[in-house]
Amino acid sequence: MEEQNIGEIVELLKNSKRVAALTGAGISAESGIPTFRGKGGLWEGYPVDKVASVEGFEEDPELVWKFYDERRVNMKDKKPNRAHEVLAEMEKYFDMWVITQNIDSLHTMAGSKNVIELHGNIWRFKCTVCSYNEMNYETPLHEIPPRCPKCGSLLRPDVVWFGETVNEVEKAFEIAKNSDVFFVIGTSAQVHPAASLPFIAKDYGAKVIEINIESTPVSVIADYILRGKATEVLDSLFLRLQEALQ
Ligand code: OAD
Ligand code: ZN
């Protein structure tokens, strides 16, 4: 990390009230959860259109449930890392919001209260017919596909599939428009509307700070770019911030 940048970012944060962070799979990579688009990415070996769309689910609910069951088994023992923790601790100092594309619950587990889960949560199921939903942590599932205890219809994971509307989208845009600082952490910024948020934030006057090991479409508009692993970058930034706030 460039020393001058860190100093400037700390100054910026000292004068900020509302801080938001858009996060993606990269923030959970160091917890051992694979990203989507990199090598060893999650879609590898699975037909994306089949396992992440309503049509695919209607065609073959068993295949889709097998895919999610596998992901749940993989995620079961994964813990939040230092990057999740720093964002949670930042709630002590700022009107802090995490807008995540991740479905792994790690921000909440790290203690963040203000979390928008744009793409849902892999630990929540909802009925495809009635209003039933539940938190479900069984891994592996004993019944595939699981059925609604209220009406007997198919349950589905409460995650957002291609073509579906993301959760709390208006609130997310509202936060982007009213942030002083907008972090973009560990996302390839290719999936909309999430990927539009940094651009909106910038248009409305926020300073945009990208934390990623690689460049993305957001790099072009970022006021600061911190190239590196989310855990390392956020840990050293937070250390400097705490010193400055004392
Ligand atoms: P991607 O897999 O597309 O991108 C992960 C990003 O994290 C890349 O830009 C990496 O460079 C970066 N990265 C990897 N390890 C990192 C680390 N240790 N520190 C910092 N950055 C790191 O994941 P997303 O952008 O989250 O949607 O993908 C967005 C959406 O695409 C997902 O939410 C999912 C998928 O379709 C749905 O399932 C609806
Ligand atoms: Zn039902």
Rg (CA), the chain: 19
Asked if 56 contacts 209 with a C-beta cutoff of 8 angstroms, the reply is no
CA of 245 to the centre of ligand 1 (A): 31
Q: Domain 3-33+79-119+166-245 belongs to what architecture? A: 3-Layer(aba) Sandwich (3.40)
CA of 189 to the centre of ligand 1 (A): 8
Nearest CA to ligand 1 atom 32: 101
In the structure, ligand 2 is a single-atom ion and the residues with CB under 5 Å from it are: 127, 129-130, 132, 148, 150-151, 153
- Cβ neighbours of residue 60 closer than 8 Å, sequence gap 6 or more: 50
pLDDT at 2 (0 to 100)? 64
Beta strands in 101-193 (DSSP E): 115-117, 120-127, 133-135, 155-159, 181-185
CA of 155 to the centre of ligand 1 (A): 27
CA of 187 to the centre of ligand 1 (A): 4
pTM: 0.96
pLDDT at 4 (0 to 100)? 74
Q: How many CB atoms lie within 10 A of CB 131?
A: 9
Residue 127, H or E segment: strand 120-127
Closest ligand relative to 147 C-alpha? 2
pLDDT at 246 (0 to 100)? 84
Of 156, 213, 218, the residue with max ligand 1 atoms within 8 A of its CB, to mutate for a pocket test, comes to: 213
- Minimal CA–CA distance to 212: which of 220, 203, 204? 220
Catalytic residues: 119
Correct CATH for 42-76+126-159 of 3.40.50.1000, 3.20.20.70, 2.60.40.1080, 3.30.1600.10: 3.30.1600.10
Q: Which two tokens stand for residue 50?
A: 């089949």
Query: In this structure, which amino acid lies at residue 182?
Result: F
Of 1, 28, 37, 162, the residue with max ligand 1 atoms within 8 A of its CB, to mutate for a pocket test, comes to: 37
Indicate the domain borders of the chain.
3-33+79-119+166-245, 42-76+126-159
- Report the chain (246 residues): mean pLDDT per 10 consecutive residues: 83 98 98 84 74 94 95 96 98 98 98 98 98 98 97 98 95 98 97 97 98 98 97 97 93
Cα(87)–Cα(92) distance, integer angstroms: 10
Asked if 86 contacts 105 with a C-beta cutoff of 8 angstroms, the reply is no
Strand partners, 212: 227
Domain 3-33+79-119+166-245 matches domain 42-76+126-159 at the CATH topology level: no
